[in-house]
Amino acid sequence: MNKGANIIDGKAIAATIKDELILDTEQFFQNTKIQPKLSVIILGQDPASLFYVRMIEKTCQKVNFQFEKHALSSKISEDELLELIKQQNNDNKVHGIIIQTPLPKHINQEKIQRALNPGKDVDCFNPVNMGNLAMGNPVFLPCTPNAVVEILKRENIEVEGKHVVIVGRSNIVGKPLALILLLKQPNANATVTVCHSRTTNISSFTRKADIIVAAAGKAGLIKGDMVENNPVVIDVGTNEVEGKLVGDVDFDEVSKVVSKITPVPGGVGPVTNMMLMKNTLRAAKNMTEKVY
């Protein structure tokens, strides 16, 4: 396996952001006596979701945020869930709210998304926040796409005017990432191509990319022969293969022909968590400054 200097250390980037957040949170507390608080709503016992929520709790502890978990039965009614969201929306001590997906089939996801106060929607779950982003005026940036952009920024990788090819068009990764990279602002202004499962000849796009972002959820999708001219490769994919976590990029092949690459694990994942914390602090600041 390539252990060379071209491997981006997502854990180190996350550690730097964590230290910055601790200072920023301390400063905010000194000024306002408010400790940011993140509330997580989780339905059922999905092990991956429970693991993710535990990780969020630990990250909150590291950056001195309050954390509150609402673990509910997957049989809860839609009205009961809406009532809890309403209560969290109205609780001035709660700054950020996450509703863990997938939701049980009897619950209308869009109704739940729209019920969430956009000013507390630190995971950009409410379509209002996606709409604000699409209009070029985001309040929060979705955590995973924002982690990709943050990594590029901190690695001093120029994005402006570059051709970024994203593989994946989901509402939580590919599509919002394209919208962020199209923003008319520093660390954006890119030319973006979005590929998906119906794209014919993905290689013809990835070979022309300055930056490739793989977010398809397909282990080993991006092979060495799909890459030319030493691009930067950011691997968002997290797939379990024979009990091992791997990305969407065939790391052994691709890492030999790129200028920089993120590994899985230890790439985008740790930075995503920090983006969630950043959004929660932003939400707390916005509430005190009555921005939203």
C-beta of 79: minimal distance to ligand NAP in Å? 28
Q: How far apart are CA 112 and CA 107, in angstroms?
A: 8
We find the least distance from the C-beta atom of residue 247 to ligand NAP, in angstroms, to be: 8
In the bound state, the residue with its beta carbon closest to ligand NAP is 170
Is the preceding peptide bond at 231 cis, omega within 30 degrees of 0?
A: no
Which residue's entry shows tokens 């339905």? 43
Residue with Cβ nearer ligand NAP (37 or 175): 175
Looking at residue 205, the DSSP 8-state letter turns out to be H
Two tokens, residue 89: 């929306």
- 163 vs 218, beta carbon nearer ligand NAP: 218
Amino acid found at 248: D
Residue 70 Cβ vs ligand NAP, minimum distance, rounded to whole Å: 22
Q: Which of 164, 278, 162 is nearest to 215 (CA)?
A: 164
Amino acid symbol at 202: I
CB 289 within 8 A of CB 29: no
Name which of 118 and 176 has its Cβ closer to ligand NAP: 176
Distances (CA, A) of 12 to 16, 107, 255: 6, 39, 19
Nearer to ligand NAP, 96 or 269 (CB): 269
Token digits for 34? Answer: 């408010």
Identity of the residue, 210 or 235, whose beta carbon is nearer to ligand NAP in the bound complex: 235
Q: How far is the CB of 245 from ligand NAP (least distance, A)?
A: 10
Residue pair 2/252 in contact by the 8 Å Cβ criterion: yes
Indicate the residue among 99 and 202 with the shorter CB distance to ligand NAP: 202
Residues contacting residue 202 through CB under 8 Å, at least 6 positions apart:
167, 195, 226
Query: Shortest Cβ distance from residue 50 to ligand NAP (Å)?
Result: 16
Which is nearer to ligand NAP, 35 or 170 (by Cβ)? 170
Please, are residues 66 and 37 in contact by the beta-carbon 8 Å criterion?
yes
Q: How far is the CB of 206 from ligand NAP (least distance, A)?
A: 10
For the bound state, the minimum distance from the C-beta of residue 199 to ligand NAP, rounded and expressed in Å, comes to 6
The one-letter code for the residue type at 149 is: V
Pairing of strands 232-235, 260-261: parallel
Report, in Å, the least distance between residue 175 CB and ligand NAP.
8
Q: Which amino acid is at 196?
A: H
> Distance between CA atoms of 64 and 35, rounded to whole angstroms?
8
21 vs 76 by CB, closer to ligand NAP = 21
Interface residue list for ligand NAP (CB under 6 A)? 144, 167-170, 172-174, 195-198, 202, 215-218, 221, 236-239, 268-269, 272
